[in-house]
Each structure stands twice: as structure tokens, then as C-alpha cells.
């Protein structure tokens, strides 16, 4: 199947990307209307004017491919796509979909810290609870929307999925450079019919890259800021190649920063390219490729107790200053504030790297077969290789290999006694796939039929290897200098191979009545997912595992335009999320007393199902755009990873469980304006009431019981969120202010531990200079993040059933487990000089 997908890429690229050049030359003017600045002459001469394209097909049927993008604001560019006309400074776009959708554009993106990842950029949108741990977003981040985390949402770039196929995690620092990011669209409630996801029980985030320009040129920027942060970016546009519409750009960026909390650093190299050709009336082929290599050290998480005692510091369980050669010289060490562990400790920061390499490729293409029939094809390929570091003390003479106890060697040299061994979680992923759909438009009716196919292979291992005298792993990738056991096997913490096949046909119909005032949608997709897995660890309970999930996902919606400015909508959608592949396998350390591994498989779980209902109203005038949406969710089979204690031995193990049901109610609202004396304010609000409906299982054996969690508030679901943005831009000078308030969040299902609410504020200022040589209009901007230097816990990394001991439903005492948290990044000043040329 991999070879067939590769052939599809090659054939489509060669035939359709270059073949239509003659036709493109004949139809040059008609295809350039949307993208060619030359055809926007009137708008370019009059900066105050703008053109808004209404949706060709407002529906829930399919809007994932880049060619489905439904609204675009164009006009005079003040550098890197800024028009000064977008609602709310680029934080809002008029929508026509019969469900909640929020979107940011270049007007906002281009004025922010250019190193921010897409997750950080949508923090002000309704319901987007975003956290980060560093100023440049290079250590990733987390997101919850309406109480659902990013692993319960689908993320796409240029129409292809970028969630991890195994655990559905999202690594936003790897996705796309902000300079090449055109829009980010957040659908808070549900996925579209053509969304290629098996994990979107919540909404989706769709990201689209800018198109290559029609004229040769490029863009360059240089960034310097707090914590020795440096970043450079260069993009080169080919312009039209010959007498065709074929054009491309190529870009490269490199970023580096020291850690603001403790020793460590982050280094990122990132490359992108996009090739586009369009011809005739609506035909288009594009190829987007993203390559990313990042090497960094993880920030330690904190418990609530350590946070209250040490703040942004870190408790050293070993002691000693531990300052090693090569540590950042600007790091302050204090025995009572931050004491990094010395080399030779499992907690030494150099044993916590996170090296990873990714390559994404997607070729979204649209072919207008005739006046009524359109084919959209999006083949893609996803490759990833890397790990999350870790270390542990190990007795070299007593490795457990299932029921056996063996000794280990490295490069033929035997080890004795306790040693620190590097033990990263290494993953390699091959993920080809394609989404195909045909859309037939006949009068007032639009019928869409499509099919999504994917065949992913994921190899996951956790080999042991030695660290050097300075505490640095001999191979940070973990694939060399490994420990070989006396029986010839490689010592592993986990060792699995998973194949995931996805077959998802979908069909939808949209009916437009009353001169397009009334739109009625109905659709169905049927997801068929098969996973086959092999566990290569010895003495596991299931060596070969096979699971099958068949899920029907219906959707329906109605949108009615009261007049040219007011519209209302109602929608209902069914979404699902498969169990993670970790649920398939026993893994970890083997307990020879219990005969169990520390992580136990639970392959018989049901898929997580959500039914979302929304009702909303929008007002879209010339000066003000606003929306108000009420939502209600019902969840069944909530998937949850839990630590359980075996009552007979006292040993702990983790497993995946069914956490039962949950429901939530609330509303989202946002409002933004076009310029009022060069000011463009934006406000978003969300109220959320998310409740756990079931008592969660806890304990095992004779102590098995349930905590009394039914009726309590769901974790990671703040009651209130408020976003505020204010943008000023007079064409030469610009400034912006952003504020986000997030209320208290519970960290346990028993609501016995929480983190307080917080306010985060950012400020940006900039100035556009006149043309200097080849540089069209250099721009100098300064972005100040977290201007109050608010120190707070921003994310619940590991929610637990209960933090304190409690009495279960059956009268058993259930011990508490400690949630851990991420600490938000501090104040940082980031200066950027940028220009197109």
C-alpha cells in the first residue's frame, strides 16, 4: 500500500503539476483573479477598500482541503499579508458554516512573535485554553477546548492529519512557520464529514499555508530576545515560471534559546516548500512539504506541593550544585531555589532530551470535471522519528527479561552494580494516506461522496544505553550503544509494532432553498479502523493483538439567513475517538511477584463517542461582526489512563479504562470590528459547565472500588474564559494588546485539587520603514509576552481520580495520586526585523 501511495504522489505531481501549462496560459486572467495581486489593482490603490468572498458552499459537508477555504479578505498589503481591514485585527472572520467556527488571519499572525506555534496563536479564540512552557513555543504546548484536550481534537495542515497516529498527541512546534501560515481555523464543536481523523471526539483545528506569489521575491526576518533567543527566517518565491501559473516558494528557519528555568536549551531547524499551479475555471494542484528537526531538553513538571514551596524552582532529590561543563552561564543556581541534579543522576537534565525529525507532504488538488462535477484529491505522507528522553537506576546484573533475570553488557563490556541508563521512548512512524471526494452541484442541490484511506505503521521501542561521564547520553536518539542482555536480546522497556488501517467512506447532501437563505445539510461517514499489533517483550499476556472499530457518524445542520446581516443555525454531529495504541500492550518493568508489567494492556475498550449539539446566531455588518453559540455535549466511554495499585503486592501499574459518561453545556461568544479611527477591538467569552456522569473505578483485587466522581466538575475544564485583543494600525505604526483570563481548573475527578485562575497579557509594537534598496518596506517590531511576569501553573499534565485518600462506593479506602502540572513561560521581550524583497 505504501508503494501505491508513493506512485500516486509521483504520477499526480508529474502529470497534473506541469502538464496544464498551455491551458493555464490561455486562461491566465480568469485564474489570477483570486490570487494575483496584479488583478487587485483597484484595491491596491485604495487601502481603505477590501473584497470579501462569500462561501461557495456553506455547510458541514467538507471544508478541510485548502481549496474549500470559504472566506478571504484581500486588499492593499502593508507587509506580509496585513490588510488593516480584517475584523478584530485579524482575530475574526465572517463565517457561513452552520456550526461554531472561529478563525485568525495574517492581520493578526504577522504582528506576533514569529516563533509562536499555531497553538499559541489561537489562544484568544472562544474556548481555546492554551498553555506553553517557553517564550518561543519550541517545547510545544497544550490545548483544551470546551474541556477536551488536543488529543481529542483533530489537527490538519493543508488538508492532511498531523495528530500522532498512536496516542493522537499534537506537537505544535513541529508544524509550520508562522511566516508561511495563512489562516488557522478552530471548529470548537465537531469535525467536518471529510475531516481525516480517528481522534476528533471534540472539534478540529485546520491550518493553511500561504500560496507562492506571482512575482519573484521573498522575505527575511531576524529575531533576538530574552534568554538568548535567536531566530532567522528566509523565504524565496520563484514567481511565475515561464508563461504559466506554476510558482513556488522555499523557506528555511533556525531557532535557538536557553531555558528560562534551570539548565537546558532548545534548537530547531525547519524547512518548507509549496508549489502551486492553477488553470482553467477552478482547477488547481499544489504540493506542500514541511521538514522539521528539533533537539531540546524537557522542562520538569511540578506537583502542587513543590510549586507552593519552590515556585519556578525544582527540588533536587540528590543534592549538590551539579554545575557541569557546558551548562548555560546565565543560569542562577541556589541551593534553596533551584538545585539541578549532578551528572550521574537520573534527574540530570541532559537525560531529558527530546530529539525528533518529521517530514510532512501533502498534495491537495481540485479538478473541475465539468460545470457540475468537481474532484478533490488530497494524498499525503507523514514520517517521524525521535524520542522523549528518560533515565533510571538499574542493577546491571539483574535485568528482568520477563520471568528471567539476566545481566547486561554494552559493546561487549559487562556492567556491575547500579548504573544510570538512558531509556528514551523511541518512535518511528510511516503514514501514507489520501482523501478523495466528488461534489455534484445541480441547481439547488449539492451532493458530496468521498473516501478517506490511510495505512500507518508505527514502531515503538525503549532501549537502554549508557551515559557518558558528564551525564550526556552516548546517543541521544537512543538507537546506539544499547544494552545487550546475556541471552543476546536488547534490553527494552517496550517493544511494539502497530499497523493501523483506516477506511472511511462519507456522503453528504446540502439543499439550498429560498434563494440561498435556507441551507439544509445531512451527512454520514462510516469509519472502519483495524489495528494489528505485535508485542516483542517476553511473557506478555497478549503477544499478538487485533482490534476493529466500525462507527457510523451522522451529522445534520440548518442555517437560515434572516437578512444580509443576521443568520441563525442549528447543528448536531456525532464524533468518535479510538483508544490509544498504548492500550494494546503490556510494557514497562516486570514484577516477578505478580507476573505483571507496570503498564497493562486493555485492548477491549470501546471507542469514545460524543454527540454535540449547537445553536447559534451571527451578526455580520460592515463595521461589526459577532457570533453567539450555545452548545451541549454528551459523552460515552470516556477514555482515561489510570494508575492502579495491586492490593496483594502493593505494586502500582497503569492501564487504560472506560471513565463512563460526561456532559457539558455552555456558550461561546465573540465580537470584532473593522477599523474605528485605526483601532480594531476583539472580545471572546466562553462559559462551560462540564460534569462527570460516572463513578470512576479505582484500586484492584479485593480493594477494587469506585470513587464518588459522578456529578463533579470535569478536570481541565475552566468555567470561564475571556479573551481580549486591541489592534491599532495607521499604516506606518502599529500596536496590539492581548489579554486572556482562564478560571480555576480542577486536576482530579473528585475535585479535591485544582489550580487557580490566571490572567496573561501580551503587548506588541511596530514601525514600517520606507523602502530601502531591495527591501520593500522593512518592519521593526517588539513583542512583550506575559508583561506582568505572572508566575502560574498553566496546564494539568496528569489528571488523577483523587489527590487525597477517599472512601469508595463500596467502603474501601482509596489512596490519592499526585497530579503534575506545567509552569507557564515568564516575561520575555522578542525583537524582530523583517522585510519582503
Residue 658: the pLDDT is 74
What are the tens digits of pLDDT across the range 375-407?
999 999 999 999 888 888 888 888 888 888 888
Q: How far apart are CA 772 and CA 26, in angstroms?
A: 37
Q: What is the DSSP letter of 586?
A: -
**Cα–chain center distance at 211:** 22
Q: How many CB atoms lie within 10 A of CB 37?
A: 15
Helices (H) and strands (E) in the chain, counts: 7, 53
Domain count, the chain: 1
Of the candidates 609, 621, 807, 825, the residue with the CA atom closest to the CA atom of residue 709:
807
Q: How far apart are CA 204 and CA 191, in angstroms?
A: 6
Global model pTM greater than 0.75: yes
Is the pLDDT assigned to residue 9 strictly greater than 60? no
Of the candidates 822, 640, 746, the residue with the CA atom closest to the CA atom of residue 152:
640
The parent domain of residue 506 ranges over 217-836
Let me know if residue 146 belongs to a domain: no
Residue 701: the pLDDT is 57
What are the tens digits of pLDDT across the range 253-297?
999 999 998 888 999 999 999 999 999 888 999 999 999 999 988
Q: How far apart are CA 334 and CA 146, in angstroms?
A: 40
Can you tell me the mean pLDDT for 623-647? 80
Can you tell me the mean pLDDT for 652-656? 56
Task: State the sign of the Cα–Cα–Cα–Cα dihedral 21, 25, 27, 28.
Answer: positive
Q: How far apart are CA 208 and CA 160, in angstroms?
A: 10
Residue 415: the pLDDT is 64
Let me know if residue 675 belongs to a domain: yes
Is the pLDDT assigned to residue 508 strictly greater than 70? yes
Residue 413: the pLDDT is 62
Q: Which residue would you say has higher pLDDT here, 63 or 608? A: 608
Can you tell me the mean pLDDT for 415-423? 81
Let me know if residue 747 belongs to a domain: yes
Work out the percent of the chain whose per-residue pLDDT is above 90: 60
Of the candidates 377, 291, 328, the residue with the CA atom closest to the CA atom of residue 12:
377
Is the pLDDT assigned to residue 151 strictly greater than 50? yes
Interior/surface letters 346-384, b for 16+ CB within 10 angstroms, e for the rest: bbbbbbbbbbbbbebbbbbbbbeeeeeebebbbbbbbeb
pLDDT classification of 25: cutoffs 50, 70, 90: very low
Let me know if residue 264 belongs to a domain: yes
What are the tens digits of pLDDT across the range 366-382?
999 999 999 999 999 99
- The answer to which of 25-34, 472-481, 751-760 has the lowest mean pLDDT is 25-34
Let me know if residue 273 belongs to a domain: yes
Residue 324: the pLDDT is 40
Query: What CATH number does residue 804 fall under?
Result: 2.40.170.20
Let me know if residue 590 belongs to a domain: yes
Is the pLDDT assigned to residue 73 strictly greater than 60? no
Is the pLDDT assigned to residue 22 strictly greater than 80? no
Residue 259: the pLDDT is 92
Which residues, listed in sequence order, are joined to residue 626 by a DSSP beta bridge?
619, 671
Q: What is the DSSP letter of 772?
A: B
Average pLDDT of the residues of the chain: 84
Can you tell me the mean pLDDT for 619-643? 88
Which residues, listed in sequence order, are joined to residue 206 by a DSSP beta bridge?
156, 185
Residue 315: the pLDDT is 39
Q: What is the DSSP letter of 314?
A: B
Let me know if residue 3 belongs to a domain: no
Q: How far apart are CA 607 and CA 200, in angstroms?
A: 11
Decide: helix, strand or coil at residue 702. Answer: helix
pLDDT classification of 480: cutoffs 50, 70, 90: confident
What are the tens digits of pLDDT across the range 782-833?
999 999 999 999 999 888 889 999 999 998 888 888 898 999 999 999 999 9
Residue 346: the pLDDT is 76
Residue 770: the pLDDT is 93
Residue 574: the pLDDT is 94
pLDDT classification of 78: cutoffs 50, 70, 90: low
Is the pLDDT assigned to residue 118 strictly greater than 80? yes
Residue 583: the pLDDT is 86
Residue 656: the pLDDT is 66
Residue 503: the pLDDT is 97
Cell of 162: 498531523
Is the pLDDT assigned to residue 16 strictly greater than 50? no
Which residues neighbour 591 within 8 Å (Cβ) at sequence distance 6 or greater? Answer: 597, 598, 649, 651, 653
Is the pLDDT assigned to residue 56 strictly greater than 50? no
Is the pLDDT assigned to residue 21 strictly greater than 60? no
Cell of 589: 518493568
Residue 647: the pLDDT is 42
Can you tell me the mean pLDDT for 346-357? 84
pLDDT classification of 68: cutoffs 50, 70, 90: low
Decide: helix, strand or coil at residue 386. Answer: strand
Let me know if residue 159 belongs to a domain: no
* Residues in the chain, total: 837
Residue 641: the pLDDT is 63
Can you tell me the mean pLDDT for 79-85? 85
Q: How far apart are CA 733 and CA 12, in angstroms?
A: 46
What are the tens digits of pLDDT across the range 676-712?
999 999 999 999 999 999 998 876 655 678 899 999 9
Residue 688: the pLDDT is 97
Amino acid at each position: 500500500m505504501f508503494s501505491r501511495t508513493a506512485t500516486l504522489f509521483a504520477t499526480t505531481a508529474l502529470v497534473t503539476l506541469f502538464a496544464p501549462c498551455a491551458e493555464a496560459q490561455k486562461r491566465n486572467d480568469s485564474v489570477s483573479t483570486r490570487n494575483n495581486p496584479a488583478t487587485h489593482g483597484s484595491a491596491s490603490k485604495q487601502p481603505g477598500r477590501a473584497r470579501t468572498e462569500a462561501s461557495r458552499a456553506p455547510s458541514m459537508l467538507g471544508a478541510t482541503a485548502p481549496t474549500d477555504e470559504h472566506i478571504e479578505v484581500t486588499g492593499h498589503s502593508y507587509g506580509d499579508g496585513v490588510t488593516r481591514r480584517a475584523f478584530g485585527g485579524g482575530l475574526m472572520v465572517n463565517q457561513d458554516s452552520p456550526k461554531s467556527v472561529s478563525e485568525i488571519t495574517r492581520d493578526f499572525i504577522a504582528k506576533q512573535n514569529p516563533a509562536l506555534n499555531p497553538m499559541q496563536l489561537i489562544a484568544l479564540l472562544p474556548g481555546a485554553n492554551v498553555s506553553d512552557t517557553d517564550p518561543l513555543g519550541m517545547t510545544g504546548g497544550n490545548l483544551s477546548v470546551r474541556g477536551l484536550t488536543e488529543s481529542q481534537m483533530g489537527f490538519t495542515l493543508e488538508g492532511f492529519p498531523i495528530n500522532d497516529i498512536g496516542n493522537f498527541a499534537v506537537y505544535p512546534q513541529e508544524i509550520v512557520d508562522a511566516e508561511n501560515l495563512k489562516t488557522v481555523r478552530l471548529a470548537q464543536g465537531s469535525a467536518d464529514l471529510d475531516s481525516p481523523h480517528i481522534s476528533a471526539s471534540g472539534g478540529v483545528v485546520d491550518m493553511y499555508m500561504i500560496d507562492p506569489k506571482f512575482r519573484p521575491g521573498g522575505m527575511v526576518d531576524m529575531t533576538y530576545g530574552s534568554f538568548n533567543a535567536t531566530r532567522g527566517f528566509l523565504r524565496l518565491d520563484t514567481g511565475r515560471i515561464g508563461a504559466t501559473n506554476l510558482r513556488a516558494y522555499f523557506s528555511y528557519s533556525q531557532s535557538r534559546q536557553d531555558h528560562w528555568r534551570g539548565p537546558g536549551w532548545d534548537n530547531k531547524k525547519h524547512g518548507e516548500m509549496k508549489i502551486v499551479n492553477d488553470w482553467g475555471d477552478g482547477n488547481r494542484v499544489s504540493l506542500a512539504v514541511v521538514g522539521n528537526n528539533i533537539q531540546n531538553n524537557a522542562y520538569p513538571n511540578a506537583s502542587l506541593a513543590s510549586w507552593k514551596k519552590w515556585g519556578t524552582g525544582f527540588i533536587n532529590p540528590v543534592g549538590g550544585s551539579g554545575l557541569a561543563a557546558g551548562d548555560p552561564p546565565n543560569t542562577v543556581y541556589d541551593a534553596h531555589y533551584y538545585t539541578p541534579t549532578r551528572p550521574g543522576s537520573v534527574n540530570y537534565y541532559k537525560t531529558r532530551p527530546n530529539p525528533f525529525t518529521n517530514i510532512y507532504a501533502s498534495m491537495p488538488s481540485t479538478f473541475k470535471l465539468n460545470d457540475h462535477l468537481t474532484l478533490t484529491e488530497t494524498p499525503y505522507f507523514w514520517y517521524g522519528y525521535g524520542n522523549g528522553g528518560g533515565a533510571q537506576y538499574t542493577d546491571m546484573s539483574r535485568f528482568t527479561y520477563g520471568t528471567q533475570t539476566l545481566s547486561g553488557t554494552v559493546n561487549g563490556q559487562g556492567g556491575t552494580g547500579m548504573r544510570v541508563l538512558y531509556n528514551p521512548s523511541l518512535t518511528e512512524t510511516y503514514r501514507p494516506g489520501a482523501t478523495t471526494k466528488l461534489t455534484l452541484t445541480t441547481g439547488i442541490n449539492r451532493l458530496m461522496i468521498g473516501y478517506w484511506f490511510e495505512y500507518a505503521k508505527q514502531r515503538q521501542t525503549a532501549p537502554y544505553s549508557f551515559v557518558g561521564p558528564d551525564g550526556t547520553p552516548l546517543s541521544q536518539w537512543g538507537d546506539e550503544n544499547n544494552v545487550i542482555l546475556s541471552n543476546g536480546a536488547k534490553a527494552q522497556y517496550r517493544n511494539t509494532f502497530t499497523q493501523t488501517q483506516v477506511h472511511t467512506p462519507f456522503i453528504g447532501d446540502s439543499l439550498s432553498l429560498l434563494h440561498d437563505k435556507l441551507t439544509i445539510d445531512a451527512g454520514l461517514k462510516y469509519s472502519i479502523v483495524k489495528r494489528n499489533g505485535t508485542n516483542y517483550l517476553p511473557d506478555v499476556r497478549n503477544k499478538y493483538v487485533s482490534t476493529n472499530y466500525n462507527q457510523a457518524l451522522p451529522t445534520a445542520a440548518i442555517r437560515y439567513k434572516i437578512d444580509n446581516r443576521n443568520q441563525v443555525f442549528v447543528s448536531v454531529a456525532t464524533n468518535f475517538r479510538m483508544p490509544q495504541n498504548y492500550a494494546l500492550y503490556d510494557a514497562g518493568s516486570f514484577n516477578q511477584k505478580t507476573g505483571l508489567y507496570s503498564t497493562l494492556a486493555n485492548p477491549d475498550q470501546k471507542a469514545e463517542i460524543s454527540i454535540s449539539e449547537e445553536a447559534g446566531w451571527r451578526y455580520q455588518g460592515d463595521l461589526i461582526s459577532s457570533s453567539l453559540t450555545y452548545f451541549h455535549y454528551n459523552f460515552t466511554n470516556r477514555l482515561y489512563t489510570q494508575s492502579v495499585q495491586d492490593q496483594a503486592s502493593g505494586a502500582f501499574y497503569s492501564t487504560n479504562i472506560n471513565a463512563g459518561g460526561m456532559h457539558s453545556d455552555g456558550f461561546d461568544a465573540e465580537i470584532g470590528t473593522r477599523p474605528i479611527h485605526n483601532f480594531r477591538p476583539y472580545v471572546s467569552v466562553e462559559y462551560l459547565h462540564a460534569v462527570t456522569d460516572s463513578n470512576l473505578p479505582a484500586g484492584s483485587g479485593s480493594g477494587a472500588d469506585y470513587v464518588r466522581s459522578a456529578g463533579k466538575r470535569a478536570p481541565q475544564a475552566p468555567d470561564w474564559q475571556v479573551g481580549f485583543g486591541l489592534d491599532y494600525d495607521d499604516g506606518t505604526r502599529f500596536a496590539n494588546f492581548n489579554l486572556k483570563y482562564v478560571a480555576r481548573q480542577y486536576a482530579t475527578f473528585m475535585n479535591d485539587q485544582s489550580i487557580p485562575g490566571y490572567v496573561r497579557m501580551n503587548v506588541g509594537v511596530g514601525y514600517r520603514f520606507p523602502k530601502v534598496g531591495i527591501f520593500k518596506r522593512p518592519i521593526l517590531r517588539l513583542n512583550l509576552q506575559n508583561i506582568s511576569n505572572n508566575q502560574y501553573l498553566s496546564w494539568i499534565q496528569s489528571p488523577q481520580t483523587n489527590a487525597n485518600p477517599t472512601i469508595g462506593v463500596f467502603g474501601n479506602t482509596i489512596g490519592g495520586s499526585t497530579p503534575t502540572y506545567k509552569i507557564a513561560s515568564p516575561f520575555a521581550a522578542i525583537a524582530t526585523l523583517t522585510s519582503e524583497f
